[in-house]
């Protein structure tokens, strides 16, 4: 039973009692609601799967393109994110240390709050992906 259906049936119990005084009829009605909810959930899941398949096909077509502006934008974003993280966590602290010794202004630290979700999304480290890996609903690569 979907999570939202149980509270709904509890809320509608007085109405069900009025329209379906027979407990068997109430159970049949609740079962039909469950079937309807399951059908809707299956349709939504199927639509999401088709959308993901279409996105994979687009990604594959982009990667195969000989045009650098089509196939190179993902690697470019990856390199930009990697360089920004390298600067922020390795180079900037070293430069700050050197600047305190040499008495020159400290170089700025980057605000990575807007870039981090982009990088995590590119790396496939979203919460749902990680959840699926933990639950074992995504097959291991190469299997």
The tokens for 28 are 């049949």
Residue 114 CB: number of other CB atoms within 10 A?
Answer: 7
C-alpha–C-alpha distance, residues 102 and 81, integer Å: 29
Q: What is the DSSP letter of 22?
A: S
**DSSP line for 19-75:** H--SHHHHHHHHHHHHHHHHHHHHHHHHHHHHHHHHHHHHHHHHHH-S-HHHHSHHH
Q: What is the pLDDT of residues 29-49, one digit of tens each?
A: 778 877 887 888 888 888 888
Q: Where are the domains of the chain?
A: 5-135
Is the pTM of the predicted complex or chain greater than 0.95?
A: no
Helical (H) or strand (E) element with 133: helix 127-135
Q: What is the pLDDT of residues 102-138, one digit of tens each?
A: 999 999 998 988 888 888 777 765 556 666 666 766 6
């Amino acid at each position: 039973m979907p999570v939202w259906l149980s509270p709904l049936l509890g809320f509608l119990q007085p109405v069900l009692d009025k329209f379906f005084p027979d407990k068997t009829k109430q159970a049949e009605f609740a079962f039909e609601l469950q079937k309807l909810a399951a059908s809707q959930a299956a349709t939504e899941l199927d639509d999401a799967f088709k959308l993901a398949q279409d996105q994979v096909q687009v990604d594959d077509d982009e990667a195969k393109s000989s045009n650098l502006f089509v196939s190179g934008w993902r690697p470019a974003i990856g390199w930009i994110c990697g360089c920004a993280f390298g600067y922020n966590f390795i180079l900037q602290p070293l430069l700050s240390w050197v600047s305190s010794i040499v008495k020159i202004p400290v170089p700025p630290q980057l605000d990575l709050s807007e870039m981090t979700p982009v990088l995590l999304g590119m790396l496939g480290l979203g919460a749902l992906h990680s959840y699926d890996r933990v639950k074992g609903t995504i097959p291991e690569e190469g299997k």
